[in-house]
Amino acid sequence: MSTVLYITAHPNETEASYSLAVGKQFLEAYTAANPNDDIVHLDLFKMDIPRIDADVFSAWEKLGSGTAFDQLTSAEQAKVARLGELVDQFVEADKYVFVNPTWNFSYPPVLKAYIDSICVAGKTFKYTEKGPVGLLDNKKAIHIQASGSVLSPGSDYADFEIGHRHLDVIMKFIGVPSFEAIFVEGMAAAADQARQIKENAIQQAWKLAKTF
């Protein structure tokens, strides 16, 4: 049995989101193919995800110099403990499904905050004489991203897109060897084709779900 983190970064409900609608179909297909797997939904807009701020930096510095955890301020304790929970949950899972819209060529800030929480030395990567090495080399990930314009690799505006490309870099950095993508794109550029674009993405989702 595998544990799948279904990580969504959209403030709207499924009915008002292309990415979430395709993500829902992916989950249905995946569950049908893997009925015993555990699906954990992380709705990032409804979660406590501490930002890396002055409290966090202060806590890390104190802990690194030997200060006991209970000697940290209450704010430092709360933020560091929560960040630890998030990265531990990520490490313990087997598969990841990231779902988000494209905002200004990237993803919503809450997803960046989550990524910051799981990129932790000693947990998801380590430093070596040859540089950083990812530790999650037995994991799999899929990214479902929607955009009004066509931004996928090979398109005219692919160089503008920095959401999927950044997530791809992060997956490589932490060692995830399998990272696939479903782009739900072009609905604004070709509004009359929006329904077909969505259906095509759902078909791709069902296909990938069976082998994920």
Q: Is 152 labelled as part of a ligand binding site? A: no
**Strands of the 95-101 sheet, one edge to the other:** 38-43, 3-8, 95-101, 140-147, 178-185
Both tokens assigned to 77: 């304790």
Distance CA 139, CA 10 (A): 24
What phi and psi values does residue 43 have, to the nearest 5 degrees?
-90, 100
Q: What 3-state class would DSSP assign to 134?
A: strand
CA distances from 207 to 28, 119, 150, 194 (A): 12, 30, 21, 20
Q: Is 107 labelled as part of a ligand binding site? A: no
Nearest C-alpha neighbor of 179 from the set 138, 207, 142: 142
Q: Is 18 labelled as part of a ligand binding site? A: yes
What is the CA 105 to chain-centroid distance, rounded? 16
Burial class (CB in 10 A: 0-12, 13-18, 19+), 100: buried
Residue with tokens 């009925």: 35
Annotated binding site for FMN: 17-19
Query: Binding site: residue ranges?
Result: 17-19
